[in-house]
């Protein structure tokens, strides 16, 4: 692979140089020939409302101590992942290659297509479902979406609540879709192409 492809903001086998790699075992292959056209935005905090610890990383890498907090009993044994996590300060972590299928959306459907994990990229924002997110997170998310759109035919960005309505409600009403739409429209990556369509 060319040196530029492996640059600080480049790609190597679905891993992006703009995020710290934290490989998760919770992934599988995408169906052959499946194009990645959707980004699903989630929110997560462990325990709920607590920020900055390593519990999310431990959950996604199957190393969470289920006895470390009473809430963890409710999710004991859960094996999930996402491609990316954006911390409150904007730092990005990547758990699964974008060429692979992360376990983030579960039972889901978007625009009449089911099994969103097969053709989507999952991005977790550190935050409480229904709560607000930081300016640093929005800036970081825009940078990430621009990088994804350069490599994959991303057409849509939706919340977990949109692909699994009635079952999931994240990121919730605190997420500012209008601000994200405006920021994407201003980003240089979309100067000569349409930005992805947002669900809200």
Quick: pLDDT tens for 36-78.
999 999 999 999 999 999 999 999 999 999 999 999 999 999 9
Give the residue-averaged pLDDT of 13-25. Answer: 98
How many helices (H) and strands (E) are present in the chain, helices listed first?
Answer: 4, 13
Domain 4-44+81-198 in this protein, CATH class: alpha beta
Which sequence spans correspond to the domains of the chain? 4-44+81-198
Q: Which residues pair with 126 in a beta bridge?
A: 44
Give the residue-averaged pLDDT of 11-37. Answer: 97
Q: Which residues pair with 172 in a beta bridge?
A: none
Q: How many Cβ atoms are within 10 Å of 111's Cβ, its own excluded?
A: 13
* Confidence tier at 193 by pLDDT (50, 70, 90): confident
Quick: pLDDT tens for 122-153.
999 999 999 999 999 999 999 999 999 999 99
What distance, in Å, lies between the first and last C-alpha atoms of the chain? 38
C-alpha torsion angle, residues 67, 72, 74, 77 (rounded to 10): -80
Q: Which residue has the higher pLDDT, 13 or 200?
A: 13
- Could you tell me the pTM of the whole model? 0.94
Helix, strand or coil for residue 55? helix
Distance of CA 165 to the CA centre of its chain: 18
CA distances from 72 to 39, 55, 144 (A): 27, 10, 30
**What mean pLDDT, rounded, does the chain reach?**
94
Annotated catalytic sites, by residue?
A: 124
Q: Is the pLDDT of residue 108 over 70?
A: yes
């Amino acid at each position: 692979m060319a040196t530029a492809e492996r640059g600080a903001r480049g790609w190597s086998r679905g891993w992006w140089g703009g995020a710290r790699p934290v490989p998760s075992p919770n992934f599988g292959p995408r169906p052959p020939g499946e194009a990645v056209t959707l980004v699903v935005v989630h929110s997560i905090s462990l325990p709920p409302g607590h920020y900055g610890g390593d519990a999310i990383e431990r959950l996604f890498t199957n190393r969470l101590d289920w006895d470390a907090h009473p809430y963890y009993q409710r999710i004991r044994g859960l094996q999930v992942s996402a491609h990316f996590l954006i911390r409150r300060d904007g730092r990005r972590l990547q758990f699964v290659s974008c060429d692979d299928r992360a376990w983030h959306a579960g039972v889901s459907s978007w625009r009449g297509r089911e099994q969103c994990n097969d053709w989507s990229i999952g991005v977790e924002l550190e935050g409480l479902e229904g709560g607000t997110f930081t300016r640093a997170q929005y800036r970081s998310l825009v940078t990430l979406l621009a990088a994804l759109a350069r490599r994959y035919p991303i057409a849509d960005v939706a919340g977990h609540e949109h692909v699994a309505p009635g079952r999931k409600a994240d990121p919730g009403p605190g997420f500012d879709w209008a601000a994200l739409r405006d920021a994407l429209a201003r980003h240089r990556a979309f100067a000569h192409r349409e930005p992805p369509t947002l669900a809200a």
